[in-house]
């Protein structure tokens, strides 16, 4: 089970691909229902907790991420 921050479409658009450190950026993923999730490590959280541009992310609701099914493998013959 994976728990991540849930984002609205507007929040997703605001953060997706944005850098929060010189070399790290936000990369959101959609679940089986099309809900956007953002996963942050403890180190990531420490990087943004004092960053007034991004610390609002830590107040977002958390939810259980359910991955979409993997696409079928192509035929092997």
Q: What is the pLDDT of residues 32-43, one digit of tens each?
A: 999 999 999 999
Cα–Cα separations (whole angstroms), residue 30 to 8, 27, 53, 75: 11, 10, 23, 27
Widest Cα–Cα separation across the chain: 55
Sign of CA pseudo-dihedral 11, 67, 39, 2: positive
Residues in a beta bridge with 7: 36
What is the predicted pLDDT for the residue at 77? 66
The model's pLDDT over 11-31, given as tens digits with 9 standing for 90+, comes to 999 999 999 999 999 999 999
Could you tell me the strand order of the sheet in which 2-7 lies?
29-30, 36-38, 2-7, 62-65
* pLDDT band at residue 71 using 50, 70 and 90 as cut-offs: confident
């Amino acid at each position: 089970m994976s728990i991540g921050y849930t984002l609205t479409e507007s929040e997703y658009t605001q953060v997706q691909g944005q850098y929060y450190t010189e070399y790290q950026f936000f990369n959101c993923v959609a679940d089986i229902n099309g809900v956007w999730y953002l996963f942050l490590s403890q180190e990531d959280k420490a990087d943004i907790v004092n960053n007034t541009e991004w610390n609002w992310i830590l107040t977002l609701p958390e939810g259980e991420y359910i991955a979409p099914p993997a696409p079928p493998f192509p035929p092997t013959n």
